[in-house]
Amino acid sequence: MVAIVTSNNTSVPIFAIVVGEHSGDTLGAGLMSALLRLHPNAKFIGIGGPKMNALGFESLFAMDELSVMGIVEVLGRIRRLLFIRRTLVSYFSEHQPDVFIGIDAPDFNLTLEEKLKTVGIKTVQYVSPSVWAWREKRIFKIAKATNMVLSLLPFEKAFYDKYQVPCTFVGHTLADDIPLVSNKVAARTLLSLPQEAKVLAIMPGSRGGELSRLVEPFLNTAKKLYKNDSELKFVAPMVSEKRKQQFIELQSSIAPELPVTIFVDKTQTVMAAADCLLIASGTVTLEAALIKRPMVVAYKVNWLTYQLAKRMMKIQWFSLPNLLANKELLPELIQLNVDVEHIYPLIHERLYQDQSHLINEFMQIHKMLKLDASTKSAEAITALLPK
């Protein structure tokens, strides 16, 4: 373990942070930058990703160890996850950071926060769990575990206010970072893609399990599209070399003849260059909406996970753009409907028909969320520091 300065030295605040996936790493890096503007000597430790590590974050475990999606999938890793959490509880209880910030990963972070709060550490949950969507009674656990929730979405604040749980709506960092108008010409120039061609982005997710379930239906759809339009270009942004290699291996057995250009760590540029996206459900759908690109969203998990989850869901939609608009802006396909028969006509329509009405809807969402979230979050967290 890395030794850190204890919080007795109030001139050097210690922020403990735990993130569990790439979207959390992006939020964490933005938060660290904002906190460093307020506290230039601050120290950061916990579990971070590459963007956070580049800013001087000290990671005690690799972020990928927490990147598990689905109830059944978590059960397969439960012993290791429990070991990591026990280790963090022991470490932070001994070293006493000024504030602990759990970024997303609520099933892991809320229990950790609750244990740390009992030993006198201020705790923050950055990104609200989807209590408004399912397992509403978690609100009581959140109230017990946290001193503050930082919510990215406006309807979450109203939910917390109903239960009198401290919550600050900060907007979304993606809305701050992404320009209101994304330049397709510039993006294609950067990626050496032809300006006049139709471009479809194939985006089966950032986790290994997502790729294993979605690459096949996505590529089979792409094969059918290519058969009807041999000028159509396919691009696939991957979050890492590991995911790139997984995609290549899957493609070699599913669609070896399909010309797909793969890019690593260029997701936003690839989305900006595309005319349409075939995309896994998640935060990336909001990213795509802010870039103003039409999309078809797919969600597919382990069968048992799906059976359990669908009985607990309380919402009509699962993609963030639809939830924010409170109507269906994008088509959502789930489980058995994630196949060529359902995907193909939806993608074809969005590739070849005018989508200006959708772009206008996305612009309204962007303006609603563009509030300088990292600065607002850093200010809310600073208010919790010992006086």
Q: Same CATH topology for 14-171+371-382 and 184-369?
A: yes
Residues of the chain scoring pLDDT < 70: 1-10, 68-76, 132-135, 301-317
- 13 in Cβ contact with 385 (< 8 Å): yes
- 297 in Cβ contact with 285 (< 8 Å): yes
Please give the Cα distance from 119 to 181 (Å, whole number). Answer: 47
Each domain of the chain, given as residue ranges in start order, spans: 14-171+371-382, 184-369
Position 5 scores a pLDDT of 45
Indicate the class that CATH gives domain 184-369: alpha beta
CATH architecture of 14-171+371-382: 3-Layer(aba) Sandwich (3.40)
Please give the Cα distance from 124 to 143 (Å, whole number). Answer: 11
Note the pLDDT tens digit of each residue in 80-121: 899 999 999 999 999 999 999 999 888 899 999 999 999 999
Position 315 scores a pLDDT of 57
Position 308 scores a pLDDT of 55
Global pTM value:
0.75
C-alpha distances (whole Å) from 345 to each of 239, 331, 374 are: 28, 11, 39
Q: Count other C-beta atoms under 10 Å from residue 158's C-beta.
A: 13
